[in-house]
Amino acid sequence: MKRGSGTTLVALTAASVVAGESTGFRYKDQIERDLSGSGDAVSFDDDFWAYNDGSMQTYWDDYSIKPLKCMIRVQRSPDAMLQLQPWDAANEYTPAHVHRKKKHLIAYQMFGKNNNQCARRGQGYYTMDVGQFSRAYVAQRQVDYNLKGNNYGNPDAMDYLECTAVEYNDSYYYAKLGCNAQGGLKLMAFTDEYCNNEYSGNIGLYNDIKIQYHTCHSCVSWPAAANDDAAGREYAVDVDDQFDGYHAYDSKLCSAAENYGSSCTWGCKSEAKKKSAGENMSYGSGAHRWNAFEKFFLFLWTAAGVALVWVVLKQRRMMSREDAIVEEAAMNGIGLKKRHVFPIVLGVVFMILFSMFMVWKKLTWFLLIGANLGLAAHFVYMRRRAKHASGTGEVYVKDAGLEIS
């Protein structure tokens, strides 16, 4: 991660101390208290946020994060022998007796500065406990909404980030936020206080935390109004002239992801890249779409292709009869005739348009750029032949290069 220079940190710290003595400046932690003190937002007073001591080490502005999916990883842990049944303890310890513990994780990608909406500068794949990630995600959304004068609220599922006792139909169960089979979030029910033995029945709890997967999230968002005041709305945050200086260092989601995240191995990365059936059906979801940068170059290469087709056809009208005969002989040598060219061109155009629609990015770029390079090479060749013919006094026949045999 890019770190702020020591001079910048000293200057910001000094400015905060001096300005803090006046009534016009509000400390960074004061704004956090305002966002969380009403009971409708995540509290930043617990141990989860203890790492964020206000040292402002990482300048998060222009960094991004992309949640990929919620997934279940099975972990073999010999340390869990204490949880084995009594008859297991009497037997010889073998790998078959190793306790299998399910870990519910959120997989995500981190992107550095100038990442162009997560299109480049990827810094790696990581995983984080589903409860920890959800806590940081909701906290970030609350901050973002407050900066725009809105209220994100506090999802009920936040009460079940850890294993929590629940009474349902005069029976006691335990609930904890986890992953479902489709890669989303789910409030899971258990019969034990450690949330190891899953209960398949319904206990009347439903998840209301919605994480946008395969969507690029900026680590830092800014107030909607130009004067750093969200138009005086009910939930607007009162910021001051020092706000820009420290807010760029304050990202609840990205700082937690950096602190609590673990590197994603090859198998983990492969699983994280797989989308659920619902995501695959959605053309507009996250990475399965063209971003603005890619759309610009799609337009640029398509326009170049149309222009090259026009100049190639124009140049072919100036081919000499000799060149046309030589070209036709070469095509016949590989089993092609000029009447086959038009269907082939239509097929290539169809494949390009279809791959664009399906967002098959590698195939689209290969076909589009390859077609442009092929047209450009053909045009250059014909221009050289035309200049050679004009120098030798050869006479061209109009449309000789366009005749269909």
Domain residue ranges in the chain: 6-82+98-155+209-281, 292-402
On whether the CB atoms of residues 209 and 155 are closer than 8 A, the answer is: yes
pLDDT for 366 equals 93
Distance from C-alpha of 244 to C-alpha of 263, rounded to nearest angstrom: 32
> What is the amino acid identity at position 177?
L
pLDDT for 4 equals 43
By the 10 Å C-beta count (0-12 exposed, 13-18 middle, 19+ buried), 95 is classed as: exposed
Distance from C-alpha of 83 to C-alpha of 72, rounded to nearest angstrom: 20
Taking Cα atoms as reference points, which of 138, 124, 130 lies closest to residue 1? 124
pLDDT for 402 equals 43
pLDDT for 339 equals 72
CA distances from 121 to 54, 110, 112, 115, 134 (A): 27, 9, 5, 5, 25
Beta bridge partners of 70: 106
Taking Cα atoms as reference points, which of 139, 70, 138, 76 lies closest to residue 105? 70
pLDDT for 56 equals 65
Residue where the block lists tokens 């899971």: 188
Taking Cα atoms as reference points, which of 4, 39, 20 lies closest to residue 250? 4
Taking Cα atoms as reference points, which of 388, 256, 402, 386 lies closest to residue 341? 402
| Residues in the chain where the model's pLDDT stays below 70 | 1-45, 52-56, 76-100, 224-241, 275-288, 319-324, 326-328, 330-333, 338, 389-405
On whether the CB atoms of residues 58 and 2 are closer than 8 A, the answer is: yes
Distance from C-alpha of 331 to C-alpha of 379, rounded to nearest angstrom: 17
Taking Cα atoms as reference points, which of 351, 359, 388 lies closest to residue 288? 359
